[in-house]
Amino acid sequence: MTPDKKNLITLLETIILMQMMMENLELLQGTHYNKSNLKIKIKTLLKEITPLAERDYNIVFNNGEMDTQSIVMEYDKLVSFISLQQLPQKVALSQIVESWNYEPKTIEATCHRIIKKYKSVA
């Protein structure tokens, strides 16, 4: 992977995480957690994060539109998949990620083998 592509991926990950944080903070605004000091901090965080996320998204999107769209689609699929899972499956997914931290090439090879097996059947 080229350094430029690696930087693009790092920036995209940051932007996506900021977007997810913004959405979660907005969800907290309608709950019992949105009281006094925390309410002020949530508003402050949203004011700080929103312009940064919008600016950085525009920078990335304009500089690598196809790469950006591809990566964002993969993240969307991942987030959607994880959000639909029950707790036991989320724990298993967490363990897969942890395993990947230890042996990424082994996990990646296993994933490719499984996907290839089932894509050829479908």
Q: How far is CA 109 from CA 56, 69, 71, 104, in A?
A: 33, 25, 20, 8
In terms of domains, do 22 and 77 share one? yes
In terms of domains, do 63 and 121 share one? no
In terms of domains, do 31 and 90 share one? no
Give the model's pLDDT for residue 106: 93
| Number of domains within the chain | 2
Coil, strand or helix: which one is 59? helix
**Per-residue pLDDT averaged across 6-23, rounded?**
75
Range of the domain at 42: 1-84
Q: What's 31's DSSP letter?
A: S
In terms of domains, do 72 and 91 share one? no
In terms of domains, do 59 and 96 share one? no
In terms of domains, do 54 and 64 share one? yes
CA distance 54 to 65: 15
Give the model's pLDDT for residue 94: 84
In terms of domains, do 90 and 65 share one? no
Give the model's pLDDT for residue 56: 72
In terms of domains, do 21 and 31 share one? yes
In terms of domains, do 11 and 65 share one? yes
Q: What is the pLDDT of residues 18-41, one digit of tens each?
A: 777 777 778 878 788 777 787 788
Q: What is the pLDDT of residues 43-91, one digit of tens each?
A: 888 788 778 777 777 766 666 666 667 767 777 787 778 878 888 888 8
User: Which pTM was predicted?
Assistant: 0.41
In terms of domains, do 14 and 71 share one? yes
